[in-house]
Structure 1
């Protein structure tokens, strides 16, 4: 064993000396502890340890590597990134203890076979499969970091973005050394490289076109929370748009939209903290101060029973009028159907000319964007068109589109609509002594506890809690547990709200519409 000293302004001069006499005993004791811990997860080292044979540095290093690759042991290095001390041993540790690409099995999802799992060989001889895992704004435009899982990528090659279907050329291929770039002609499986001039989003997968593999699932969860956001200064409008565009590329769960009624920019994401981070990044990286509105939960509406519609849209106002009649029914989609909106044309004969049917579907889709209960989108709905009527002169696409919109509104209340709210899967970890107050608080927030485990002195609770009741929960949990509690939260599903909550939401919506 040796003592390491880091000299120079950036800790670049590593000096190795003997351990000072006053620390020798402590170092030996800590080494014994390390051997003991590693021998618990590595059989080969355990044999040497139990038979009291001397354990060399090589034996210990090999055992640490085996246990780390098997994910039974996590090596921890001491150091300071701020002062650049301990960086060299850490990098040596990456080489010594972490697995090389051929020692781990990676899986891709075959998009041509309904996301079936495929094991990648990690061989340069296979078809190219590379993942864009990080985007950076460089001096020469977007710099995309790629991790190559299989095959070879060459400068000048054409590669296909499986997520978008676009074919792009690799104009420049570089290997990154901290913030310095080294131009290279090709790279193979196991390497991390960067490319310029490739327009893509974080998480996109590139192949050579011979396979349709993606490294991440194509299904992105719907955002559960929205915020109105605007730049404080009008001068920073350019940077404001640039930041939002970049964040959308980096993170597929981050969405940006425009509220058609208020004209405000709305950002949506997976929770309060998720959106807070982007607002902070905008201020730090783009120097844009933004004002944010009150968080808004993304509710949904749906129907619970079948309802018939028969609506005639007729308007005469000098010249060509408007005429369109639609007859049919709406019904809820069966649970687990996957689709959120279905339109079925069951017209017999030519009661409505076929060229007007797409306009009718468009009208129903537009109407389903805003339910009459609280103005949120309507989901899990099937609309069936069975009959109708048209006029030789006055019928038009607009007339049938409006007929569909009014028909939907007419039958919506008869279909007994309900409100769906996002429910989160919440995992809490806190000292057992606070169990009573934490579980009481979860119940107060209308949460349902589905799991309760013990981890040492800590209690681990899993619960399903409506997102609308989780605002400011991190502060509440800290105060209940004297700062010792922690929680994670992820989207689970949209489920029906209770009748009293529905009445509250409908009344609040009516009140805001009245003030507008």
Structure 2
């Protein structure tokens, strides 16, 4: 019997193979060589992967607020599709950890730090999945994943609802215009309330959303879900919920099902013309017509279907897989653009937009985006999304930015930290390759003359900096190697050498972000490093308007330097207080236009890096150039750039100055009995309470607090809530510092200048 099954296994349907695996192998244990059968399953999956049609592909990401169950959901997706043979928990007692959390630190901390890619097969569809972190400190991982994906699953906790990072992820989804569905997870959790979650999705995320399922019980009574489209109850039986059983709707939920079905049809018909016409004609849509309307509106991003389940209890995951294939788009249904550099002009420096052709053919017009870099034991691993054409092992690639040529020595598909070699990939695929030198966000093409470049990835600026030093000075070489690697892999991790303090400064998105990299240096490089006191990214600005009239004149024999600039500098307020603007209001030829780029660089780059008041970078400043003068011989780009730099410094000296500090949006949750202590702590930090919500035995507090006040808050919150409170924060905006803090920062900067001058004087002597 075993030989027969081995011979005919490749032609069995996916569902039957999965049932054979679970029931025959796990329950009855009829065969002695289950590993042979597993190998057949893997070989068959690889063959399907290579031959899959574009319409049967999905590229999706799993994203959510921290601790909403993203990685657990992904683990179940892998198991039910036959990609893995055992399920493990994020914080499991077996010390194995979830498949997608392959890094040791992830398993120790129980959080996702890096996004991880994998792929599964489900009902003749191949689904490429990227599991993303939920913590705001690693938000760039979500940014670059959503940049290359065609769809997303936004996971929402049935108890926590829409939280701070849920809002951030939603903004990222909107930024890249990614169609998405929502999965309300943790129906088994105490005080789970999916109906309240739906209200928050509509009010906070501003989504036209409706249930396509309703729960059969909540908390400990959670038994399954009802599909309101097909009007069937779905139960998940077996030791691991692998068997989906359809049954009649329980009598007490029939009326609720019809009510929610009518609500679903109303929400979809409001944004879908075809379904709307049917409703006007008083026609009842069939299951197929309703699903087709949901698919159209989901892809158009005018409607969001909401599914339910509890991944930890193995309920609702298989219908989620069905929804991914039924409602989210394939690569041919999403328009992706590239900028054609051959059409670039001064007014349009990037060039015209060109729509990518997703046809899966190897025609020499391949275009791909490198969206993630990772160092492995085989060298740099570059993750690529193919947007046009195809790529075969051994082909040549050209980096549009650097114009460097590389050869595709090895082409792989990722399954967490495991590699699967591929002979070729085509449009719509997500793959990885070795032996390519590039930066995150680079575009690769197959033709040396092609100048297509994909839209870059949004990278937020770091908000926290700390000093970093190795306790052993002999390890400076290894430290430099580690810092170079991490700054290449993570564009939000910055490093610089501070000449004044004679120390290495690392900057990132938060304390946890920098702590993780310090621990990685210890584990991966054997470096014993320590982080110093955090430094906040303050900004310096001016109040009001100050004029400038500066003449730069230098004669050293032969052609000299000459330039004169007249205008004013003014401070910007409100949402513009982090911008730097340059406005040219000159007329005539007193200031020749060919020098305008150099003048702009002199004002916005040379003079804004370091303010004269606190030494912080300038922000919220607009430079307006009114007039000037030039010399036919002595004027040059260098002369006007120096003139602009000195004119700005002169103006800043006489202007009324101010210092801006970053404000973060903080969301605190905990047992209600500790709410007063938490509120008192926020008030003590001069925070502004924006919203307070009481839900059963728990409270949620949303407030704005200066980042400078938030260091060490994790320990403070633990002591205030007996270890039961949680918080998350994300950058919100910049605001002016209190006067006492301004004076302290300005005094410290002036003292450092005096000390530096004293040191230089001593050296001269």
The TM-score bracket by the shorter chain reads 0.7 to 0.9
Which residue does 2:434 correspond to in 1? 196
- Taking the TM superposition and a 5 Å limit, the aligned residue runs for 1:220-369 are 220-313=459-552, 324-333=563-572, 340-342=580-582, 344=584, 346=586, 348-350=588-590, 359-364=598-603, 365-369=605-609
> Cα–Cα, structure 1 residues 324 and 374, in superposed 2: closer, same or farther, change >3 Å?
same
**Equivalent residues of 1:45, 1:59 under 8 A apart:** no
Contact 1:162–1:213, Cα closer than 8 Å, also in 2 = no
Q: Which residue of 2 aligns with 1:474?
A: 714
CA contact (8 A) 2:668 2:700 kept: yes
Contact residue 228 and residue 264 of structure 1 kept, 8 A: yes
**1:473, CA displacement in angstroms?**
0.7
3-state SS in 2 of match to 1:293? strand
The 8 Å contact of residues 688 and 704 in structure 2, kept in 1 or not, is answered as yes
Cα deviation digits, residues 286-338 of structure 1 (max 9, x gap): 22222433211111122232211123445688999866543221123576569
Q: Report deviation, 1:172.
A: 2.1
Shift of 1:513: 3.1
Report the equivalent of 2:424.
186
Query: 1:85 — aligned with what?
Result: none
Q: Distance in 2 between matches of 1:213 and 1:389?
A: 41
1:76 aligns with 2:301: no
Structure 2 residue matching 1:295: 3-state secondary structure = strand
Deviations 1:194-225 (A, max 9, x none): 311123445667677798655xx622111111
CA offsets 1:7-45 (integer angstroms, 9 cap, x no match): xxxx9899x9xxxxxxxxxxxxxxx99996353353489
Question: CA 1:94 to 1:44, structure 2 compared with 1: closer, same or farther past 3 Å?
Answer: closer
Give how far 1:464 is off.
1.4
Give the drift of 1:470: 0.6
Hey, what's the Cα distance between the residues in 2 that align with 1:47 and 1:361? 66
2:399 and 2:445 in contact (8 A); partners too: yes
1:170–1:196 contact (8 Å) kept in structure 2: yes
The separation in 2 between residues aligned to 1:316 and 1:162, in whole angstroms, is 43
Q: CA deviation at 1:457?
A: 2.0
Report the equivalent of 2:141.
Answer: none
Instruction: Pick one of 131, 136, 144 that aligns with 2:382.
Output: 144
Contact 1:230/1:265, CA 8 A, preserved across alignment: yes
- Contact 1:363/1:405 (CA < 8 Å) preserved in 2? yes
Give the Cα–Cα distance (whole angstroms) in 1 for the partners of residues 441 and 644 of structure 2: 39
CA distance in 2, matches of 1:94, 1:192: 23
Call closer, same or farther: CA 1:72–1:424 in 2, change over 3 Å: same
| CA 179–485 in structure 1, closer or farther in 2 if over 3 Å, else same | closer
Q: 1:394 to 1:183 in 2, by over 3 A?
A: closer
Please say if residues 41 and 73 of structure 1, whose CA atoms lie closer than 8 Å, have aligned partners that are also in contact. no
The yes-or-no answer on 1:37 pairing with 2:222 is: yes
User: SS where residue 491 of structure 1 aligns?
Assistant: strand
Distance in 2, matches of 1:191 and 1:393, equals 57
Corresponding residue of 1:19: none
- In 1, are the aligned partners of 2:443 and 2:452 still within 8 Å (CA)? no
1:27 is aligned to: none
Structure 1 residue 133: Cα displacement: 5.9
Shift of 1:138: 3.4
Deviation at 1:271, TM superposition (A): 1.3
SS at match of 1:310: strand
Measured at CA, do residues 235 and 260 of structure 1 come closer, stay the same or move farther in structure 2, by a change above 3 Å?
A: closer
Hey, what's the Cα distance between the residues in 1 that align with 2:35 and 2:730?
A: 42
> Higher helix fraction: Structure 1 or Structure 2?
2
3-state SS of 2:458 partner:
coil
Distance of aligned partners of 1:459 and 1:48 in 2 relative to their CA distance in 1, 3 Å threshold: closer
Would you say the 8 A contact 2:217–2:224 is kept in 1? no
Query: Quick one: structure 1 residues 308 and 262, their matched pair in 2 at CA, closer, same or farther if it must change by over 3 Å?
Result: same
1:105 counterpart (323, 326, 329): 329
Deviates more, 1:268-277 or 1:221-230: 221-230
Secondary structure of the residue aligned to 2:549 is: strand
1:428 corresponds in structure 2 to 668
With 425-434 and 395-404 compared, the bigger mean Cα shift is at: 395-404
Aligned residue number for residue 60 of structure 1 = 245
Structure 1: state its 5+ residue gaps.
17-31, 51-55, 79-92
Question: Counterparts of 2:394 and 2:417 in 1: how far apart (Å)?
Answer: 23
Asked if 1:494 is matched to 2:734, the reply is yes
Q: Per-residue deviation at 1:493?
A: 1.7
- Does 403-412 or 293-302 show the bigger shift? 403-412
**RMSD over equivalenced CA pairs, Å:** 4.9
Change (3 A) 1:160 1:232: same
Q: Secondary structure at the match of 1:60?
A: strand
- Contact (CA 8 Å) 2:497, 2:503: kept in 1 or not? yes
Is this contact kept in 2: 1:302–1:417, CA < 8 A?
yes
Residue 533 of structure 2 aligns to a residue whose secondary structure is: coil
Deviation of 1:259 after TM superposition, in Å, equals 2.7
Q: Using structure 1 for the length normalisation, give the TM-score.
A: 0.73
Q: 1:163 to 1:446 in 2, by over 3 A?
A: farther
Tell me which residue corresponds to 1:484: 724
- Which residue in 1 is equivalent to 2:690? 450
Contact kept? 1:41, 1:72, Cα under 8 Å: no
Q: Corresponding residue for 1:374?
A: 614
- The 2-side partners of 1:174 and 1:472 are apart by 42
SS at match of 1:194: strand
| Cα separation, partners in 2 of 1:344 and 1:149, compared to 1, 3 Å | closer
The alpha carbon displacement at 1:240 in A equals 1.8
Offset, 1:413: 4.7
Per the TM alignment, residue 128 of structure 1 is displaced from its structure 2 partner at its CA by 6.9
> Residues 422-459 of structure 1: CA distance to partner in whole angstroms, max 9, x if unpaired?
11121111111111111111122121122222344221
SS at match of 2:496: strand
Q: Secondary structure at the match of 1:253?
A: coil
The answer to whether the Cα contact below 8 Å between 2:693 and 2:699 also exists between their aligned partners in 1 is yes
- Residue 440 (str. 1) matches residue 680 (str. 2): yes
Summarize the Cα distance change of 1:13–1:174 in structure 2 as closer, same or farther, 3 Å threshold. closer
Structure 1 residues 124, 435: closer, same or farther in 2, change over 3 A? farther
Q: Is the 8 A contact 1:345 1:384 kept in 2?
A: yes
Deviations 1:370-409 (A, max 9, x none): 1122111112322233334456787676655444333222
Post-superposition offset of 1:475: 0.6
Q: How many residues align?
A: 469
Maintained 8 Å contact 2:607/2:645: yes
The aligned counterpart of 2:702 is 462
Is the aligned partner of 1:385 residue 2:588? no
- Give distance in 2, aligned partners of 1:178 and 1:228: 32
